[in-house]
Structure 1
Amino acid sequence: MKPKSTRNKTDVRDETALAYAMLDFVGDGVMATDTCANITYMNTAAETLTGFSRQEALGRPLEEVFRVIDVTTRVTRANLAQHVLEIGTPVELHNSALLKARDGRELAIEDAASPLRNAKGEITGALVKFHDARFSAETTARMAYLAQHDSLTGLLNRYAFEERFKQAAALAQRHEKKMVMLFIDLNNFKEVNDTLGHAVGDEILQALGPRLLGCVRATDHVCRHGGDEFVVLLSDLAEHEQAFAVVDKVRETAAELLRQQGHWATLTVSVGISLFPNDGETLEALLPHADAAMYRVKTEAKRGLRDLKP
């Protein structure tokens, strides 16, 4: 014989109260209705987005509080809770709706709803969830940007640079073009960090990043490789020698920047290059060549001499 449940109505009410209390801490607006689509619960986020207080909303039909219109036609959308109660399955809608808040504001929203069921599987109401789609889009765009860019300089990170290299290499092979990779390092950067602090070091890197972008074309790619090292891919070149003008521009731009502040004046840049396809056709092959060339420049060459010829 199956034992009877020891849970009583008080336990259920306590669990429901706890669940509703927890929903007050989520960022999405959440509302629950009964089987007539009248509001039985509303969390704090829903109050903020709709402009109705919980006390005002309880017992009202959902469409009086959750007033939604189609973003294109401006036609009032059907009661989402009522729709879910009729079909008995969850519904998810994306950014095609505008919520008309109580104060007249119109908010682009993403929303979803699902039926509420008791222990026997019977539908007892509906749960509606929604959030500000503008915030969602901004967050998504920001996350996508951070996934591909260095947080300090705004330049491409190593992962994104690798993807851009693969695309550029495929085009170069198809159209029989050449590419040049520059490996750039700041000389004496460790001394600056040690004597002036990492805040000054970060300031230098932040200032140098956009200036490097200004030295290249829109079709080229600049990456912060790590620390004070930068990598530049010059793509779609007819001849490798075209890179020499860019190297000179990088040196001049860096020198101009570093002269602007007295305590940066001891810094210079060393640049090494590798050639595609001569030194290799993959990033793994070209980077070591450019890195090694940069270190030869750093240790052997004198400032101002053209020591970067392949």
Structure 2
Amino acid sequence: MIGREVGLLLLDGRGGIVGCNAWILSQPGLSGLPGRTLAEPRQALPDHPLIDALLRLLARDDGQAPPQPLSLPSRAGQPQRRCLLRLEPLDCVGAYRIALLSPLDGSGLREDVGREQWRSGSILAAITDALVITDRKGRVDYLNPPAERLTGASLESVRGRTLSQLLDACSVEGRVPLTELVEQTMNHGEVTQTRHELAVRGDDGGRFTVDAAVPPLLDTSGQVVGAMVIMRDITNERRLAARVDWQNSHDALTGLINRAAFDNKLEELVRSAREAGGEHALLYLDMDQFKVVNDTSGHLVGDELLRQVALLLAGQVRANDTLARLGGDEFGLLLAGCPVERAQEIAAQIRRAIRDYRFVWDGSVFVLSASIGLVMIDADAACFSAKDEGRDRVHAYRPRAGEAVRHQGDMQWASRISTALEQDRFRLYAQPIVSLAGDGGVGHYEVLLRMLDEHGELVSPASFIPIAERFNLMGRIDCWVVRELLGQIRKHFDHPLTAMESEAKAVSPR
């Protein structure tokens, strides 16, 4: 019985490494072996004891070469492993040979394993990948047990039948039938593409995905006498990858695509407009008074409201439109191939649908509305304009010269202010107010707010207060000021403001 910790390599008649099992691939320095050939210059091959041992065996491939002892490199902190390497022909597979690497620690083959076992089909049966061998006409000649399990067919039932009768498969990329891939590799006499990802339909109608290699089968003179299809079922891997991709590109609450995926779609649309022309539109939706629902009824109710709004919006858009939740109560909609007039109609239709909708929760009825920016460049600016002019309206935005640039700068400032709040980079200074008519004593203080930039330099309020007011950040700043001031009073109860005194003094004439 061949143990789990045995390395298997399948070599073609020219020393090409057609495939190997997972144990080989798990060894340090050997992950890139499939698709390489031992006929390459030695310096181009991996610097590994296994390569040296294979080359020594191939140099005297007369069937009498003794097993080659070698020590496999180990991972950090582990001892090297002593192994034996044997090279044996596969009588049923033309000029192909099996290289068997067995550890000498009792976990794999022993040195005294009978040679007759090596020359039998048991080696092919021990390969964990599914292996199908065809003749030159594409008729099935051999299936190993994993291939029987994968296809649901026995060797006796399919031997002599065409490959298409065994496997209904085609490449995922290009939808090329497997039979055509096999014909191509036999016509070229060499591997034309290292790996193929195949979509396979089973007898029960179910579909699965395999990672496949399709090397030609050569006789001792190098003539093509057939082909091999070596397959590994990767259906679960692909399903998991698809699930992760979906989670990375979609909003978990609403099921709509998220902001990152929306930005990618927007870039594609912009690129398409630049290269091929056409009219496109971007709608930016901001739910009015959503915070009221969230604050009065709780986040669970707010989440349910967003889910229902997402369903409502999805029922208003066209099949080729892109709808996304951008974050919070903000939604984005890309209208491809849509003139401005039609985009305004769609925006008005969405606004009416939201206005006419009634969100009911626990006996309470909420009337909804949304501000919608219809824009070509900067959706945020349009939405701000819509709210400035009054809620529950559509605002079509066309930036004047330089306005988009200025707004982009404002957005960057808003980001800097948010970061400064998160990193506690605001400071309070207490400036004493001194009367010229008095005795110079300090009776009152003026508390001043400053922000530190990324380099620790003070930033004047004139630079960040207007932006904070426009982007609704003043509430967070006010909370910080009150919290910090109360903290100073608690810390320096007797003289709380003198602890914050700055060198500058405000002079009052009174």
Task: Report TM bin, short chain.
Answer: 0.5 to 0.7
The CA deviation string for residues 275-303 of structure 1, in whole angstroms up to 9 with x for no partner, is 44xxxxx3xxx122034236547xxx5x7
Is contact 2:373–2:394 with CA below 8 Å preserved after alignment? no
Is contact 2:287–2:369 with CA below 8 Å preserved after alignment? yes
2:380 to 278, 288, 300: 288
CA distance in 2, matches of 1:226, 1:295: 18
> For 2:148, what is the secondary structure of its paired residue?
helix
Q: CA RMSD in A?
A: 6.1
Residue 39 in 1 paired to residue 142 in 2?
A: yes
2:341 to 213, 238, 242: 238
1:212 CA drift (Å): 1.2
Give 1:89's aligned amino acid.
E
Residue 50 in 1 paired to residue 155 in 2?
A: no
1:97 CA drift (Å): 9.9
Query: Where in structure 2 are the equivalents of 1:1-310 lying within 5 Å?
Result: 5-6=68-69, 7-9=84-86, 12=101, 14=108, 23=128, 30-31=130-131, 33=133, 38-39=141-142, 41-43=144-146, 46-52=147-153, 57=155, 61=159, 63=161, 67-68=165-166, 88-90=189-191, 101=203, 112-115=213-216, 127-130=228-231, 150=251, 152-156=253-257, 157-163=261-267, 165-166=269-270, 179=281, 181-185=283-287, 187-189=289-291, 192=294, 196=298, 198=300, 201-217=302-318, 221-233=322-334, 235-238=338-341, 242=345, 245-246=348-349, 248-253=351-356, 255-256=357-358, 258-259=359-360, 261-262=361-362, 265-266=365-366, 268-276=368-376, 282=377, 286-293=378-385, 296=388, 301=390
1:159 CA drift (Å): 2.8
Structure with higher Rg: it is: 2
1:264 CA drift (Å): 7.2
Q: Taking CA–CA contacts closer than 8 Å with sequence separation of 6 or more, which of the two structures ends up with the larger relative contact order?
A: 1
Give 1:205's aligned amino acid.
L
CA distance in 2, matches of 1:293, 1:67: 65
The CA deviation string for residues 251-278 of structure 1, in whole angstroms up to 9 with x for no partner, is 325x33x23x3377457344142544xx
> For 2:384, what is the secondary structure of its paired residue?
helix
Per mean C-alpha deviation after superposition, the further-off stretch among 232-241 and 88-97 is 88-97
The CA deviation string for residues 83-142 of structure 1, in whole angstroms up to 9 with x for no partner, is 9678642367989998785x8x7979876522589xxx9x9x964135899999999998
CA distance in 2, matches of 1:274, 1:84: 55
Is contact 2:313–2:350 with CA below 8 Å preserved after alignment? no
Give 1:214's aligned amino acid.
G
CA distance in 2, matches of 1:128, 1:243: 53
Quickly say closer, same or farther: Cα 1:21–1:296, change in 2 above 3 A: farther
Is contact 1:178–1:238 with CA below 8 Å preserved after alignment? no
Give TM-score scaled by structure 1 length.
0.53
Give 1:113's aligned amino acid.
V
Structure 1, gaps ≥5 residues long: 25-29, 72-76, 277-281
1:66 CA drift (Å): 7.7
> For 2:316, what is the secondary structure of its paired residue?
coil
Is contact 1:185–1:269 with CA below 8 Å preserved after alignment? yes
The CA deviation string for residues 149-179 of structure 1, in whole angstroms up to 9 with x for no partner, is 65653545423441465268659x967x795
Greater share of helix: 1
Match of 1:279 in 2: none
> For 1:67, what is the secondary structure of its paired residue?
helix
Give 2:362's aligned amino acid.
G
> For 1:271, what is the secondary structure of its paired residue?
strand
Give 1:287's aligned amino acid.
A
CA distance in 2, matches of 1:178, 1:70: 42
> For 1:238, what is the secondary structure of its paired residue?
helix
Is contact 2:373–2:395 with CA below 8 Å preserved after alignment? yes
> For 2:190, what is the secondary structure of its paired residue?
coil
Identity %: 20
CA distance in 1, matches of 2:385, 2:362: 29
Is contact 1:148–1:160 with CA below 8 Å preserved after alignment? no
1:249 CA drift (Å): 1.4
Is contact 1:34–1:40 with CA below 8 Å preserved after alignment? no
Give 1:23's aligned amino acid.
T
Give 1:289's aligned amino acid.
A
Give 2:165's aligned amino acid.
R
CA distance in 1, matches of 2:181, 2:382: 63
Is contact 2:213–2:230 with CA below 8 Å preserved after alignment? yes
Quickly say closer, same or farther: Cα 1:269–1:160, change in 2 above 3 A: farther
Is contact 1:161–1:223 with CA below 8 Å preserved after alignment? no
Is contact 2:383–2:395 with CA below 8 Å preserved after alignment? no
> For 1:224, what is the secondary structure of its paired residue?
strand
